[in-house]
Amino acid sequence: MEIRIEKTTHPKEKPDQKNLGFGKYMTDHMFMVDWHKDEGWSNARIVPYAPLELDPACVVLHYAQETFEGLKAYRTAEGKIQLFRPEMNAKRMQRSNERLCMPTLPVEDFVQAVKALVKVEEDWVPSEPDTSLYIRPYMFSTEASLGVHMAAAYTFIIICCPVGAYYPTGLDPVKILVEDELVRAVKGGTGFTKCGGNYAGSILGQVKAEKLGYTQVLWLDGEERKYVEEVGTMNIMFKIAGEIYTAPIDNGTVLAGVTRDSMITLLRDWGYTVHEEKLAVDTLMKAGHDGTLEEVFGTGTAAVISPVGELRYKDDEVVIGDFKTGELTQKLYDTLTGIQWGRIEDTYGWTVTI
């Protein structure tokens, strides 16, 4: 893919790296490429970051035909910049797009576009501890038409923003509410995709949880509301009596997280048994009460690893590990972030240098 580069003449002032938060400061440029049913992909370009001009009738604004991804670029102590498993994001976006009847961008074009944009924005990759450049690829239908159908035109964009921790609490434990009324996904739906609509539907649960003093929602399966699936912005893992449990991804309702996959690989290499299988919320709460629920942690690109210190389900509540970050959670965090920031040798071939 040939990429035209037009640099900005008005670079922005960079934000204070100690107060980045998440997703607040966009960089100077964005990548764009268009797709039309008669021409395929065309006009790949990196241009100054600017508002988009969209027809008010364009399909995405009415029927939410949009998918997205999230990955990060990390600055190592030597000043190198590296990505983490970007092909996994490219492939997952292809699966999301197939489900939403959207065109797929070839994996090598996705990775090339990410690399080219990060190269242009290299001065934006922060160097303070635990900061990175969050990269947000997304695609949506741009055709102006109110009929519900596969659109004739789409645009794929990548924007970036320097970020700190997703949760202001960092690696301190969060409180999670198990949602027992609303559902996020059902078999045959779009739960396994990263589409904007999945997140729009989850906001009400999030608002309810926040009102009650919880950081996030733990979703149960949409059919029986019996089995734990995933948290608002993360997959979730449970250490029960020394073994690890996490929801399976082959049911079509749970996102195939890149961090989830990396954690499972590390855990199995360290000799842990990892069960990718259905876990009933009743079994989980029982383990919380009988002392066998040792650690709970969420995994995701934005959040990295988020220890869970408290779980509430209906009127039942369990505190996990005295509301302290567990030993295994800490070890996983140190190992994963060590590989991502180049402090630990990457024996898995996960990092890609820009």
Q: Distance (Å, rounded) from C-alpha 65 to C-alpha 44?
A: 21
326 forms part of the interface with ligand COI (CB under 6 A): no
240 forms part of the interface with ligand COI (CB under 6 A): no
CA distance readout (Å), 210 to 213, 220, 231, 292, 341:
5, 18, 14, 28, 32
The stretch among 49-57, 206-214, 299-307, 310-318 that binds ligand COI (CB under 6 A) is 299-307
Q: Distance (Å, rounded) from C-alpha 295 to C-alpha 139?
A: 37
Please tell me the count of residues contacting ligand COI according to CB under 6 A: 6
Give least dist CB 301 to ligand COI, A.
Answer: 4
The stretch among 50-58, 144-152, 276-284, 298-306 that binds ligand COI (CB under 6 A) is 298-306
Nearer to ligand COI among residue 41 and residue 199 (C-beta)? 199
State CA 18 to chain mean position distance: 22
201 forms part of the interface with ligand COI (CB under 6 A): no
With the C-alpha atoms ordered 263, 266, 270, 275, is the resulting torsion angle positive or negative? positive
Among 233, 262, 325, 329, binds ligand COI (CB under 6 A): 233
302 forms part of the interface with ligand COI (CB under 6 A): yes
301 forms part of the interface with ligand COI (CB under 6 A): yes
For 276-298, give the DSSP string: ES--BHHHHHHHHHHT-EEEEEE
CA distance readout (Å), 255 to 102, 141, 300:
18, 22, 10
Cβ(205)–Cβ(232) below 8 Å = yes
What residues form DSSP beta bridges with 311? 176, 318
Give least dist CB 233 to ligand COI, A.
Answer: 4
Q: Return the residues of window 64-103 that contact ligand COI according to CB under 6 A.
A: 70
Nearer to ligand COI among residue 131 and residue 301 (C-beta)? 301
Give least dist CB 255 to ligand COI, A.
Answer: 9
CA-angle at 130, arms to 304 and 194, nearest 5° = 30
* Size (the chain), residues: 354
The stretch among 45-53, 237-245, 300-308, 310-318 that binds ligand COI (CB under 6 A) is 300-308
Among 126, 137, 162, 300, binds ligand COI (CB under 6 A): 300
Q: Distance (Å, rounded) from C-alpha 214 to C-alpha 207?
A: 9
Tell me the residue nearest to ligand COI as measured from the CB. 70
Cβ(150)–Cβ(101) below 8 Å = yes
Nearer to ligand COI among residue 199 and residue 272 (C-beta)? 199
What residues form DSSP beta bridges with 166? none
Where along the sequence are the contacts to ligand COI (CB under 6 A)?
A: 70, 199, 233, 300-302
